Amino acid sequence: MEADSERVAIFMAWPYANGPLHLGHVAGNCLPADIQYKYERARGRSVLMCSGSDEHGTPITLTAEQNGISPQEVVDKYHGINSKSLADLGCSWVDNVDPRGVDFGGTLYNRTSDPMHKDMVRIVFEDLLDAGFLERTTMQQYCSISNGEVRFLPDRYVEGTCPVCSADGARGDQCDDCGSTYEANQLRNPVSKLDPTASVEIRDTDHMFFRLDLFQEELVERSKARTKVWKPNVRAMTKNWLDMGLRPRAVTRDIDWGITLPLEGEDWDSKRVYVWFEAVQGYYTCARIWAERYAVSAGHKHGVDAWENWWKVDSNGVSPKHIYFMGKDNIPFHTIIWPSIIMAMNAAASGNPPTCEPLPGELALESNVPANEFLLLQGGQFSKSRRHGVWLPSFLERYDPDTLRYYLSINMPEGHDSDFRWDEYVNRVNNELIGTYANFVHRVLTLAHRLPNHTSNPLEAYYDSSLHTEHAAIVSEYLQSATESLERQRFKESLRSIMSIAQLGNSILQEAAPWNHIKNTDSSDGIKSLSSLAYCWLLCKGLAVTLRPFIPFQSDRLWEMLGCTEDIDSVSWLDSYSDNSFSWNSSKPNPLFERLDLESILKHEKSLADEEDSKDNESKPTQGGSGDDLIDYEDFVKVEMRTGKILSVEDHPNADKLFVVVIEDGPDSTRTVCAGLKGHYTASQLEGLDIVFVANLRPRKLRGVLSEGMLLAADDEDGNVRVLTPEDGMPPGSLVR
């Protein structure tokens, strides 16, 4: 393979270790990062890939509380599950040291609870503090007090009575009913959503803030220079943040699960590093930890400093290439916050002002941040609580990882959200992956095996390269465009170009019709035809190499069936279609994939869902203690439900999902209620309907409009909503019981 001195670091956003990975993570993060890594290796480059589990923060502590275990147990569990899923998916995290040798790099799927990560974060914290990039500020924050235990609460976990309009349910800093904002201490009757019985008060608390504002100018300059490189979604999101103006951001918080602070004094004992500040540093700490744990023992020539090859600008001013993969929700962290921290680290080390153009010896900034949009599931967002999702571990138990990799690659949410649909998965796998690609390979292999007895490849004797210059030129164009696409992280486009080569192969076979000459190979037509078959054999070799980033398992299988003895790792991407040597494997070829059957897949998925349902039904009564969920008849009759007739429906002036509905609730009597039915019904569908409503609910303003009751409606797992309506003939105002 030709030497390529380029140094590349592949960074994948750190999955939160609070649950198993779902297909959205795979399509948005894991797969693109892995494809890019494998491609860069095939180019002969030195590549280091870093990521791991993000293991701190409030949600993990809540999961731990709910399950009665420690936060560490939560993250241990999911770090294990997710590491295994990634390996089963064929991602390269399993090779900590590059099989070509440690000088080529390697990978590390680390975790933020790693003591070395924690130490390095504390050192960065100190350096930035000394350099004046962190400042101490006193802020006021809610906390709940229960049994003498003080717990600080984020604003979104507090609600109370609005000081302006007296509405209930106002949030810590803003009232949704009247829209007014106020200082934290003005909210009346604050209550903790996590523990409603605790008393809530305001306390002063000191925190360290990162001076993001100091980097505004450099970031504006940098983002202008990146307009040609960044995707539209990345440009837009970043510009939006910069236009709003950057402000200092707290890097510490009142919580006990996280990295302790390198600060003296009791004040700081109960505080930890804020996750956003610490997890992004994982890209840097992970590279250093890789060097210490793997590069040294594998004999890297630079030992513990090996990481610098992938992180520091070299003496000629050349930066390593840094590519960060993530979903759209993570963009500002990678175009604003993390670059600022890197600039701050550089400035702290050199004593110079921050600059967006790192000098030789300094840490490099991103080369691209190809953020993906979201993968939806049958049109809706993946959701743990609504059980709307396909989880990676259960998927991989049943289906071939390469089929998933193919489908998600060809359907990647690169420009906008895309959809995971079972029928489309089956279609694309059967028609494209199997019909076009695997079928081509199988045709070539079985035809070759039908030629007369042989111990080496029988096609070699017929091959005449001069007959295929036109085809070779087309293949070379496809390869070049696939390569250019991958240089720009355009995976769909790239995969399509490569698939075009398989399609070309099919048409070459069609035209040459070698099956007519298998038994009588001597005619001049026969020789020409078999030369085409021989050329197709060479195409299969190229396809194995160039599809390997996308479907690694089956590429390796194909390579073996072709009888190639050379290590596929040492074949250069650019030369993959130019090697004219003929290998041979005398054992009978087998199809690469099995066709998928949509009906049986849907049946299985449904049975999985039913299983979950029955599990839930069984566990519910025991969960809250038996009988606790039951109410007395007296409680039930307190709810006064009546029939009514909808007279008019109008859009709520200040809410997207609300209708303002006037109902006839008795003879010559009407009332107004707000109903969140927009999107489920049109106004005209509702008008005139007989409905059931709760009549004695305390009236409450909803985004400024007083609602005197509540329409009853049913909703199912899929989010469908239907209003309740009595059988005809009941006059408005009739009691329901």
Partner RNA sequence: AGCGGGUUGGAGUAGCCAGGUUAUCUCGUCGGGCUCAUAACCCGGAGACCGGUGGUUCAAAUCCACCACCCGCUACCA
Touching RNA, residues 589-628 (CB under 7 A):
591-595
Task: Based on the shown chain and the rule CB under 7 A, indicate whether residue 98 belongs to the binding site for RNA.
Answer: no
- Minimum Å gap between C-beta 428 and RNA is 6
Is the distance from CB of 280 to CB of 332 less than 8 angstroms?
no
Question: Rounded to the nearest whole angstrom, what is the least distance from the CB of residue 269 to RNA in the complex?
Answer: 31
Specify the stretch interacting with RNA by CB under 7 A; choose among 304-312, 338-346, 436-444, 604-612.
436-444
By CB under 7 A, the residues from 167 to 206 that bind RNA are 169, 171, 176
Which of 355, 427, 481, 585 contacts RNA by CB under 7 A?
427
Chosen residue from 367, 436, 476, 648 binding RNA by CB under 7 A: 436
Please give the torsion angle defined by the CA atoms of residues 525, 531, 533 and 537, in that order, rounded to the nearest 10 degrees: 180
Options 119, 656, 717, 718; binder of RNA; rule CB under 7 A:
656
Residue numbers 395-424 binding RNA by CB under 7 A: 411, 414-419
Smallest separation, CB 584 to RNA (Å)? 18
Alpha-carbon gap, residue 377 to 374, rounded angstroms: 10
For residue 168, give the DSSP letter.
S
Among 47-55, 193-201, 333-341, 504-512, which window interacts with RNA (CB under 7 A)?
504-512
- If binding is defined by CB under 7 A, does position 730 make contact with RNA? no
By the rule CB under 7 A, 736 interacts with RNA: no
CB of 578 to RNA, least distance (A): 23
**Residue matched to tokens 């496809």:** 478
Q: Which stretch binds RNA (CB under 7 A): 73-81, 127-135, 608-616, 698-706?
A: 698-706
CB of 158: closest distance to RNA in angstroms?
12
> What sign has the CA pseudo-torsion 391, 396, 402, 407?
negative
* 281/418 with CB nearer RNA: 418
Q: What is the C-alpha to C-alpha distance for residues 466 and 468, in angstroms, rounded to an integer?
A: 5
401-410 and 491-512 helices cross at what angle (nearest 10)? 110
Nearest approach, Cβ of residue 555 and RNA (Å): 14
Contact 362, 311 (CB under 8 A): no
| Binding map of RNA across residues 706-725, x = CB under 7 A, - = no contact | ----xxxxxx---x-x----
313 binds RNA per the rule CB under 7 A: no
User: Binding residue for RNA (CB under 7 A) from 344, 534, 558, 677?
Assistant: 677
**Complex with RNA: residue 616 or 715, whichever CB lies closer:** 715
Three-class SS state of 580: coil
Residue closer to RNA (CB basis): 381 or 565: 381
Q: Of 219-278, which residues contact RNA (CB under 7 A)?
A: 227-228, 232-233, 235-237, 240
Query: How far is Cα 204 from Cα 445, in angstroms, rounded to an integer?
Result: 74
For RNA, the closer of residues 119 and 594 by Cβ is 594
Task: Report the residue from 472, 647, 655, 736 that binds RNA according to the rule CB under 7 A.
Answer: 655
Contact 325, 196 (CB under 8 A): no
Three-class secondary structure assignment of 329-395: HHHHHHHHHHHHHHHHHHHHHHCCCCCCCCCCCCECCCCECCCECCEEECCECCECCCCECCEHHHH
Nearer to RNA, 67 or 654 (CB): 654
Q: CA 651 to CA 233: how far, in whole Å?
A: 31
Closest alpha carbon to 11 in 280, 323, 286, 369: 323
Residues in the chain: 737
Total residues interacting with RNA, rule: CB under 7 A: 78
Residues 16-45 that bind RNA (CB under 7 A): none
Site string for RNA, 456-495 (x = CB under 7 A): ------------------------------------xx--
HSE-CB of 731 using CA atoms within 13 angstroms = 4
Q: What are phi and psi of 604, to 5 degrees?
A: -65, -45
Longest dimension (CA), the chain: 100
Q: How far is the CB of 160 from RNA (least distance, A)?
A: 12
Please identify, using beta-carbon distances, which residue of 567 and 656 lies nearer to RNA: 656
The number of beta carbons lying within 10 Å of the beta carbon of residue 59 is 13
What type of residue is 86? Answer: L
Indicate the residue among 126 and 419 with the shorter CB distance to RNA.
419
Q: What does the H/E/C string look like for 26-54?
A: HHHHHHHHHHHHHHHHHCCCEEEEEEEEE
Site for RNA in 41-70 (CB under 7 A): none
Piece of the chain touching RNA by CB under 7 A; list 95-103, 299-307, 437-445, 539-547? 437-445
Residues 6+ apart with CB under 8 A from 616: none
CB closer to RNA out of 474 and 602: 474
User: Looking at beta carbons only, is 319 or 403 nearer to RNA?
Assistant: 403
Minimum CB–partner distance for residue 631 and RNA (Å): 18
Pick from 96, 506, 648, 670: which binds RNA (CB under 7 A)? 506
Q: Do residues 423 and 377 lie in contact, with contact meaning Cβ atoms separated by under 8 Å?
A: no
107: β partners: 49
255, 336, 658, 686: residue in contact with RNA (rule CB under 7 A): 658
User: Considering beta carbons, is residue 307 or 325 the nearer one to RNA?
Assistant: 325
Cα gap 74→59, rounded to integer Å: 11
321 vs 496 by CB, closer to RNA: 496
> In angstroms, what is the minimal distance from the CB of 255 to RNA?
20
C-alpha 463/C-alpha 615 separation (Å) is 62
Rounded Cα distance, 301 and 306, in Å: 7
Q: Which of 25, 334, 443, 468 touches RNA by CB under 7 A?
A: 443
Interface with RNA, residue 373, by CB under 7 A: yes
146 vs 481 by CB, closer to RNA: 481
Q: What are phi and psi of 193, to 5 degrees?
A: -70, -25
Of 337, 482, 675, 686, the residue at the interface with RNA (CB under 7 A) is 675
The DSSP line for 671-693 is: EEEEE--BTTB-HHHHTT-EEEE
Binders of RNA in range 124-163 (CB under 7 A) = 156
Q: Is 726 in the site for RNA (CB under 7 A)?
A: no
Distance CA 219, CA 240 (A): 12
According to CB under 7 A, which residues from 509 to 548 bind RNA? 509-511, 513, 515-516
Shortest Å, Cβ 551 to RNA? 12
Which residue type does 295 have?
A
User: Do 592 and 442 meet the contact criterion of CB atoms below 8 Å apart?
Assistant: yes
Using the rule CB under 7 A, is 439 a contact of RNA?
A: yes
Of the pair 81, 509, the CB lying nearest RNA is at: 509
434 binds RNA (CB under 7 A): yes
Residues 586, 562 contacting (CB under 8 angstroms): no
**522 close to 473: Cβ distance less than 8 angstroms:** no
Residues 671 and 665: beta-carbon distance below 8 Å: yes
